[in-house]
Amino acid sequence: MALSAAEKQRRYRQRRDEDKERRQAYLQKEKQKYIADKAVGKKKLIGDLSERGKRLQRKQSRKRQNLSRKQSIEMNAECLQTPASSTENHNVASTSTDTGSTCRKSLSKLKYKQTVELRYMQRQLDTAQKKAEMYRKRWERERSKKVSGSQQITPRSRTKKLLQNFSRSSKEVKKNLMFHNCLIDQIKRKYRQKTAHKKTVSEICCGSILRKYKLKTIAMKQFGPQQKQDRKRKGSLIHRLRKSIQDFYERDDVSRIVSGYKNTVTQQKYKQQKRLLLDSLENLHVRYMSETNIKISYTSFTRVRSFWVKQPKDSDRDTCLCKKCENVKMMAEVLKGRNRHP
């Protein structure tokens, strides 16, 4: 039967490797070829490769290394399983002795490696057991605190405890709801009867517990007290100057009225045509104080502004403010000042 090309090549390499001189000549030839290829750039070192080339080269190196280690382990296992036989040739005896020594070294390295791994795993196991014991003790202490009543149970915890066993503790839930409704009715009655109690009820509704569980609004609706409103003295400066400041805002040199049927502002069913300020509030505040010689804070000045007087936005602009339009506008103003406007 004719041999295949691969089989012929395999037998050729086997005959070449059996002859030491031919083997050395082949290795020397391959070495010279590698040096020549590296000089012309055909072979590259790993440092000269790209990142992708480095990854591929290292992957192939790992595969070759793993294969070599696997073959070495299999060879050592075969050496241990093969019984020692008496040989007549001294060279054969020396070779088997060397192989046995290599096997013993490999076994000692493997045993040492396994011992190190076993110690490491034992340390990890001890650490995990200590942590488990620590958390178990911590859980027991927390449980004992709850049982002894040393830790106060929160309202949310009591509610959850009631709802978890609703089918078995429906009477207790009913009793708690009844107590809740009766308490609210009693507080409402006291709040309406005496004014002295209103402050106390208001302070209860603003307590930290109700704020924590976001029940402040519900308490206000249930009990009746409303949030404290700002009290404004009628004889204060801002009250006396309210009309004057509002008239100042509605002056034509301070604000302009916006034309248009839909450009209105409504507040509390009171409808007014919108007006837009011609300058910033800071400048208007300074201007008002210089004209009236009255000192008033900026906050008070802006607070009494009428609700239909607004600051202008980009959407309120009805002109482009480009160079051509502005030039025509300024020319018209100059002609009007000189009475030459047609």
Do 197 and 243 reside in the same domain of the chain?
A: no
Is 316:291 a contact under the CB 8 Å cutoff? no
- What is the reported pLDDT for 130? 93
Of the residues 172, 195, 223, the one at which a domain ends: 223
Mean pLDDT, range 190-217, rounded to an integer: 74
- What is the reported pLDDT for 83? 58
Is 297:333 a contact under the CB 8 Å cutoff? no
pLDDT class of 87 with cuts at 50, 70, 90: very low
Predicted model pTM: 0.32
In a domain, 336, yes or no: no
- 332/340 Cα distance (integer angstroms): 9
Do 213 and 267 reside in the same domain of the chain?
A: no
Do 244 and 219 reside in the same domain of the chain?
A: no
In a domain, 147, yes or no: no
Do 197 and 245 reside in the same domain of the chain?
A: no
Do 213 and 243 reside in the same domain of the chain?
A: no
- What is the reported pLDDT for 230? 47
In a domain, 167, yes or no: yes
Do 205 and 262 reside in the same domain of the chain?
A: no
Give the domain extent around 179.
Answer: 161-223
- 125/132 Cα distance (integer angstroms): 11
pLDDT class of 42 with cuts at 50, 70, 90: confident
Is the pLDDT at 132 greater than 80? The verdict is: yes
Is the pLDDT at 25 greater than 90? The verdict is: yes
- 237/234 Cα distance (integer angstroms): 9
Number of other residues whose CB lies within 10 A of the CB of residue 238:
16
In a domain, 110, yes or no: no
In a domain, 300, yes or no: yes
pLDDT digits (tens, 9 = 90+) for 230-288: 455 555 777 788 888 889 988 888 888 887 778 888 888 888 888 988 888 899 999 99
- What is the reported pLDDT for 144? 78
In a domain, 230, yes or no: no
Mean pLDDT, range 164-170, rounded to an integer: 75
Do 194 and 246 reside in the same domain of the chain?
A: no
- What is the reported pLDDT for 101? 73
Do 305 and 244 reside in the same domain of the chain?
A: yes
Residue 273, C-beta contacts closer than 8 angstroms, at least 6 positions apart: 257, 258, 263, 264, 265, 308
Our count of domains for the chain comes to 2
In a domain, 338, yes or no: no
Do 242 and 189 reside in the same domain of the chain?
A: no
Residue in this structure with the two tokens 């509390």, named with its chain if needed: 268
Do 188 and 166 reside in the same domain of the chain?
A: yes
**Mean pLDDT over the full length of the chain:** 80
Share of the chain above pLDDT 90, in %: 21
In a domain, 101, yes or no: no
